[in-house]
A and B are shown apart, each in its own frame.
Chain A
């Protein structure tokens, strides 16, 4: 691979790479606002100016203040090049430090702050704002401008999700490029010029495509803010763990931002993954964090409707064990979930084997039932994060869908149900048949169609409250990390199942997440080795 020198360090690059991209790949940050690895080059912020010291030098005539003569005297300075636009060349020598470059950075930064409002205390970007970071790193001088700043529109509603503040905007055009290049919907553009320019909507339009939150995500400053996250939390109080989006089977990688002091998840942010989601997530995916707190099941419930009774967590395990112990395993339906982690599904399938229950079903959301539409950008047509993982857990046993379950119940072949998760059965009346059964045990983190017909509901940890993994539509195995603690007494589904099994006298032998995961990955690898074409 060819290399060039950046500050004396060899940086490899692929032909066609710019200096910026090669440095970015090598993990070196050249300060920038407008450049984004997932977008085209705009080269309008001028923050990434570097000095190319090899080759022919272009010098610009300038004036320099001479302290002795008390006058400006002619001088020259090297012409700097934007690193984001300049293609790297073999043997090129580039410096991104030194007086000239640092001067340029300081002055670009000073220009950007020229008309910036004093908004940090009320700005949601404060704490993760590039203007702040680069001020500290590259400018750190006081304001010189004495006149009133230019005022522009503030708090402009761009659509249902985004609010725009023109005064904070540095016109990097990242948001415009996201709409153009990622979505292909030219809904944003820039108008006017100089210090009057601002981002505007296309006439008669709203910012309402499926990736509007990406405009906020790429905004390096606080110009675009999300209606949802706005004024909810200050980012320096948030901590972040790695998550996987549960919106669809793409399994976009995310950062789960939560407040550790109160155990609340506030937002998701896309996590770069070249193989899955690149740098992006869709709006629906970004909002999946809400299910961590909305419609949450917190206490076990015995019975339906009026006669329902709340239980203590330890009573729930005994009750489930008693109920399952009383039914005929042949007539017990085990429902795996396409919305729960591999670990939960795996342990449930193993528990079914121990019980001798051979009827396995899969609860999954159907796209048309939940109003989901796929596209060719990120959204897959299957709105379940882990259909592949549940299928994997069932090993060779065929999984029937919930329609089959309803029919089997009506046919009298199923007299009891042990179900996992809150996905599935969204179609009107799909699960009515289950309402008549005495034993419908549902282990779920949230309310859903299954828990609505359950005779016993047992709350379990949601994805934000557990360590786990999903297998996405491509067959990629992706893990996620626990962000917040579960409510008191609530365990992950697989741990609850291990307890139930123990109460029934079966030792499933799992204690830690790692053990479950090792076993299922080994099984999956063995399977893949057996039939190499099935998964890759």
Chain B
């Protein structure tokens, strides 16, 4: 055995004195762990040697709760999955049940769903990127982005009656047809969105601090992202051009011309930029959808076994009363079977695996939350990075507790 002074004769090497690894607990009630995630870190100095990501602090038993109501009663729960873009969850769940029923919503309803969904996606990305920048000290972009998000929410409020948890989707369509000024409102907001995206980028993209903390931090390789089941912006940032809207077109997405932005390195910067670009692509989709959308016609199927009849009819005719009664008290009867239906949610592939036993109550509703698998990948993104890198990395995967923990 060599004497200690021989080992550390070089000063640089002496700096590498092995330190005891420090066990540090972060969260669940840490301001940067939004959505109440707990991370147990093993630190060597400031370097993250290992991390155990622990979700579950926002678990509310979504899947269990679904098993005791009717199919339609799942909508308010679905709103509270990814509560930043509830419309996408609503539509995702509707599509799953419609797949099980084997029905298709009229064209106008599909376009309506697309437009509302893309607006929700824009809000989702605004929130993610705005909050991510804010956590790095850039408060202004956050305020600017959220200001425009609020205007988008104004539109959603006019359409659905609620700013956040709309519960606006219905099995077989939407709760109400578009309001009269809908298309004009949306067209009016588009330049604002473009403008604010440009402004936010102007503030951030040449900011040295921002660049340092985003570029080369939280890297995830393409192969690992695929094997870990990542999807959405997290997967696309690694260079995989997988977007459900493009690869498995649902609703009317195959009628639009849009691109799937991809990154190269799979770092925070790429995730940020992919989201920014997706906002622009969403606007392209919305513009095309507004042009193509029929101006009249039903937005929902008219079968009284699936859609609730109009209230006026319910109060005056026995047929509508019975239809209403049956749908509310017993619920819509889905054929026996199981389907997996998936859509592009705010964070990636939002899947619903639903099982029906033929009664009015879901037998099982499994949500495949994109956040769940994206969050799983955080461990590999973080190992080797510094403790301060946790904040932008965790921010950039846009973990939404409601969806992840259900």
Most buried by B among A113, A116, A140, A236: A140
Chain A residues, Cβ within 8 Å of B316: 118
- Whether A142 contacts B317 by the Cβ 8 Å rule is yes
- Whether B320 contacts A143 by the Cβ 8 Å rule is yes
Chain A residues, Cβ within 8 Å of B30: none
- Whether A131 contacts B322 by the Cβ 8 Å rule is yes
Q: Of the candidates B313, B318, B321, B323, which one forms a contact with A140 in the assembled complex, judged by CB atoms under 8 Å apart?
A: B323
Chain B residues, Cβ within 8 Å of A120: 318, 321-322, 325
| Min distance, Cβ B385 to any Cβ of chain A, angstroms | 54
Q: Considering the chains assembled together, what is the distance between the CA atoms of A30 and B342 in angstroms?
A: 39
Of residues 112 through 156 on chain A, the ones whose CB sits less than 8 Å from some CB of chain B are 113, 116-121, 126-127, 131-132, 135-136, 139-143
Chain B residues, Cβ within 8 Å of A116: 318
Cross-chain pairs A/B with CB under 8 angstroms, 13 sampled: A118-B316, A118-B318, A120-B321, A120-B325, A121-B321, A135-B326, A136-B305, A139-B319, A142-B304, A142-B313, A142-B317, A143-B317, A236-B329
- Whether A113 contacts B319 by the Cβ 8 Å rule is yes
- Whether B315 contacts A118 by the Cβ 8 Å rule is yes
Write out, one digit per residue, whether chain A residues 4-15 have a CB within 8 A of any chain B CB (1) or not (0). 000000000000
Q: Of the candidates A118, A127, A140, which one forms a contact with B317 in the assembled complex, judged by CB atoms under 8 Å apart?
A: A118
| Min distance, Cβ B305 to any Cβ of chain A, angstroms | 5
- Whether B309 contacts A132 by the Cβ 8 Å rule is no
- Whether B319 contacts A136 by the Cβ 8 Å rule is no
* A136-B326 contact given A141-B304, A142-B304, A142-B309, CB 8 Å threshold: yes
Q: Considering the chains assembled together, what is the distance between the CA atoms of A127 and B325 in angstroms?
A: 8
Chain B residues, Cβ within 8 Å of A141: 304, 319
Q: Of the candidates B303, B319, B329, which one forms a contact with A135 in the assembled complex, judged by CB atoms under 8 Å apart?
A: B319
Chain A residues, Cβ within 8 Å of B309: 142
Chain B residues, Cβ within 8 Å of A126: 325, 329
Residue of B nearest to A136 (CB): B326
- Whether B322 contacts A127 by the Cβ 8 Å rule is no
Chain A residues, Cβ within 8 Å of B315: 118
Task: List 10 additional A-B contacts (Cβ < 8 Å) besides A119-B318, A142-B313.
Answer: A113-B322, A116-B318, A117-B318, A118-B318, A126-B325, A126-B329, A127-B329, A135-B326, A142-B317, A236-B330
Chain B residues, Cβ within 8 Å of A119: 318
Q: Considering the chains assembled together, what is the distance between the CA atoms of A113 and B319 in angstroms?
A: 7
Residue of A nearest to B333 (CB): A136
Q: Of the candidates A131, A143, A236, which one forms a contact with B313 in the assembled complex, judged by CB atoms under 8 Å apart?
A: A143
Q: Considering the chains assembled together, what is the distance between the CA atoms of A119 and B309 in angstroms?
A: 17
Of residues 132 through 190 on chain A, the ones whose CB sits less than 8 Å from some CB of chain B are 132, 135-136, 139-143
Interface of A with B (CB < 8 Å)?
113, 116-121, 126-127, 131-132, 135-136, 139-143, 236
- Whether B323 contacts A113 by the Cβ 8 Å rule is no
Q: Considering the chains assembled together, what is the distance between the CA atoms of A194 and B62 in angstroms?
A: 53
Q: Considering the chains assembled together, what is the distance between the CA atoms of A413 and B320 in angstroms?
A: 74
Chain A residues, Cβ within 8 Å of B317: 118, 142-143
Of residues 272 through 326 on chain B, the ones whose CB sits less than 8 Å from some CB of chain A are 303-305, 309, 313, 315-323, 325-326
Residue of B nearest to A145 (CB): B317
Q: Of the candidates B318, B321, B322, which one forms a contact with A136 in the assembled complex, judged by CB atoms under 8 Å apart?
A: B322
Residue of A nearest to B330 (CB): A236
Q: Which 8 residue pairs of A and B lie closest in terms of their CB atoms, listed nearest first?
A: A143-B317, A116-B318, A135-B322, A143-B319, A140-B304, A136-B326, A132-B322, A120-B321
- Whether A118 contacts B321 by the Cβ 8 Å rule is yes
Q: Of the candidates A121, A131, A142, which one forms a contact with B320 in the assembled complex, judged by CB atoms under 8 Å apart?
A: A142
Chain B residues, Cβ within 8 Å of A140: 303-305, 323
Most buried by A among B305, B309, B316, B325: B325
Q: Considering the chains assembled together, what is the distance between the CA atoms of A131 and B318 in angstroms?
A: 10
Q: Considering the chains assembled together, what is the distance between the CA atoms of A361 and B337 in angstroms?
A: 60
Residue of B nearest to A234 (CB): B329
Chain B residues, Cβ within 8 Å of A236: 329-330
| Min distance, Cβ B166 to any Cβ of chain A, angstroms | 27
Chain A residues, Cβ within 8 Å of B323: 135-136, 140
| Min distance, Cβ B294 to any Cβ of chain A, angstroms | 23
Chain A residues, Cβ within 8 Å of B326: 132, 135-136
| Min distance, Cβ B6 to any Cβ of chain A, angstroms | 77
Most buried by A among B309, B316, B319: B319
- Whether A132 contacts B319 by the Cβ 8 Å rule is no
Residue of A nearest to B315 (CB): A118
- Whether A132 contacts B304 by the Cβ 8 Å rule is no
Residue of A nearest to B316 (CB): A118
Chain B residues, Cβ within 8 Å of A139: 319
Residue of B nearest to A112 (CB): B318
Chain B residues, Cβ within 8 Å of A132: 322, 325-326
Q: Considering the chains assembled together, what is the distance between the CA atoms of A113 and B304 in angstroms?
A: 16
Chain A residues, Cβ within 8 Å of B319: 113, 135, 139, 141-143
Chain B residues, Cβ within 8 Å of A121: 321, 325
Q: Considering the chains assembled together, what is the distance between the CA atoms of A142 and B323 in angstroms?
A: 9
Chain A residues, Cβ within 8 Å of B325: 120-121, 126, 132
| Min distance, Cβ B321 to any Cβ of chain A, angstroms | 5
| Min distance, Cβ A261 to any Cβ of chain B, angstroms | 13
Q: Considering the chains assembled together, what is the distance between the CA atoms of A136 and B316 in angstroms?
A: 18
